[in-house]
Structure 1
């Protein structure tokens, strides 16, 4: 399975802030106005609302576990109560989240994530198999973003940077990592069909247990 990565290279997940900047009209009609093929509600964490209602060790733990779990599954997050990077950094401190557990998470505004996703949908990519690996040709408006290509072999994946024009990806220098919690089709495929045979049995519980 080969596909464009859901996030700019080298990121493997995203946590968004400043959702309120998009305005009330956007929130009300997000299913029409959002460039994502999934509902904005899916990016929200139930544990965030619980933490906002009552901050205690249990809600702290739940939010920390859910953020790490979503990262390991490759699922995007939008924290609707957080309006800036500074507030997000403070939240990480408050819930005692070790960023090393999400070393390749992209921290950005929801608007920037939407802008990336819109550009991603407009990229033109061709992929050809070579005797030594793969040849890809990509064109489009990158606007400072760096797209990546994900290559899957069973539950193992590798992400490589793509540059405008022709890219050669050699098999002998491509490093794969075990990613049993992630869907090879990305977060849209995860939410579109969680019963798919591509996903390990008891998928959500497995990821949550790994994050605790």
Structure 2
């Protein structure tokens, strides 16, 4: 079973993927909840446009998304220059850019799951709290958010898994630099391009499958547990 032992470079790719995916999920979650709530509950001009923009990464080729990120968040891009000047944050060819690409690609899945969960919450419960004088923010925090928690958990875990497996946008935006931007999919791609790299590619492929399946199973289990607790409350 020696062929299953990961090399230091492979471990680095795995750790970097987990690191990048975690930050991608953490930073996109507040925006995901806000956008999902807006699409589920609000009526405003441009709602269809917002919905289209949110889901656009699912339709566009990932390479196109990565190229657009490079134009916008690169060193010479308007947003890239802004973040570097104001916050000292550089995205292009850094792990931060990989996290941004993963967050963008995973965002539609997160929003979709959370939106469906919010739409399943009975609006009459929110209206009843509002008639009793509760502030909309308090209603959201104490009624909507807890009732939509299963969907939030599912969306969060699915977004993590998606960010973990993102390749096209990531390699276009931040390249494939070992130890810096080489995530799990990029490392697998590298192995497939060199003679004798099949064993390393298979090792990392098994890890990718294990992580993805674990995320899906965990999402289902956590969502069910939260639902049972809420039904028993």
Normalised to the residue count of structure 2, the TM-score between the two structures is 0.24
Report which of the two has the higher share of strand.
1
Which structure has greater helix proportion? 2
Q: Which has the larger radius of gyration?
A: 2
Query: TM-score normalised to the size of structure 1?
Result: 0.26
